[in-house]
Amino acid sequence: MSNHMSTRTRTARAARPQPSAATIDKVFALVLHLGERRPASTLPRRLIPLFRELALPEPERDPDDIEDLIWAHWIAHKDLHASSQMAAAIEAIGAGALDLARAMLDRLVESEPRWAEAWNKRATLAFIEKRDADALLDIEQTLMLEPRHFGAISGFGQICLRHQRFAEARAAFQVALRVNPHLLGLHEAIEEIGSTPMRELH
C-alpha cells in the first residue's frame, strides 16, 4: 500500500469481510521471514542499488527522491496497456471512483498476476474500503513477489492497528523500517504503540 495515494472515498460496498485471527497470523509470519525471500524475477534489477542506497542512514541523495524512483519502477510495466490501466486505476482511486478502480485492478491482477504493484494497489483500495480480509490476501500476494515492499509491509501494520493487534503492528513497522529507515511516520507509530505484548501465533 502507499502513503502517496489520496484517501478521499465514496461509500464502499456494504459487505466488508473482516480478517480472522488466523489470517492475520499467517501474513504476519510471512512478514517476519521476508528476509529469506527473493524478489520475483520480473522486477527490474535496477531496484537493487536503489534499495541498498535507501537503507543507508544518511544517503547522498534525498531519501524521498530514492523512494520516488522505487515507486516509479514498481508502477511501471513493459506492457503499455497495463501501465495505462495502472495509471487510470490510481487516478480513479484519487478521484473516489472506487468501483471503477476496483474493476480495473481486478483485471490487472488477472492478466498480470506476477506484477506485485497490481496486487498492492488492489490491497490499498481494499484498505480504503475497510475490506481488511481482502486487503490481507492482496498484501500476501504482493510480498510473495516483492518482499522489499515497505508500503505493503506498513499497510499490514496499519491493518493490525485497526484490529488492535498492536504488537504485530509494531513488529511489521520495524520490518518496514529495515527496508526504508526514512519512513518517519512509522517511527512515531512505534513510539505510540509502546511495548504491548505479542499474541502467541496459532
Q: Is the pLDDT of residue 12 over 90?
A: no
Over residues 49-72, mean pLDDT: 98
pLDDT band at 59 (very low <50, low <70, confident <90, very high): very high
Q: Model confidence over 143-188: pLDDT tens digits?
A: 999 999 999 999 999 999 999 999 999 999 999 999 999 999 999 9
- For residue 18, the model assigns a pLDDT of 85
Between CA 153 and CA 190 the distance in angstroms is: 14
pLDDT at 35 (0 to 100): 95
pTM: 0.89
Predicted confidence (pLDDT) at residue 5 exceeds the cutoff of 60: no
CATH number among 1.25.40.10, 3.30.300.20, 3.30.70.380, 3.30.2290.10, domain 21-193: 1.25.40.10
pLDDT value of position 8 = 38
Chain-wide mean pLDDT for the chain? 92
C-alpha cell at 70: 522505487
Residue 47: how many CA atoms within 13 Å on its side-chain side? Answer: 22
Q: What is the pLDDT of residue 3?
A: 46
Place of cell 499474541: 199
Question: Quick one: pLDDT at residue 16?
Answer: 72
Whether pLDDT at 113 is above 50: yes
Among 164, 167, 142, residue whose Cα is nearest residue 153: 142
Q: Does 200 have pLDDT greater than 80?
A: no
> Once rounded to an integer, what is the mean pLDDT over residues 101-106?
98
Q: How confident is the model at residue 15 (pLDDT cuts 50, 70, 90)?
A: low
Question: Based on the number of CB atoms within 10 Å of its own CB, is 54 exposed (0-12), middle (13-18) or buried (19 or more)?
Answer: buried
State the residue for C-alpha cell 490481507: 136
Question: What burial class does residue 125 get, using C-beta atoms within 10 Å of its C-beta: 0-12 exposed, 13-18 middle, 19+ buried?
Answer: buried
What phi, psi does 103 have (nearest 5°)? Answer: -65, -40
Q: How confident is the model at residue 17, as a pLDDT?
A: 72
The model's confidence at residue 194, banded by pLDDT at 50, 70 and 90, is: confident
Nearest to 136 by CA among 146, 150, 126, 151: 126
CA-to-CA distance for 98 and 90, rounded, in angstroms?
10
The length of the chain in residues reads 202
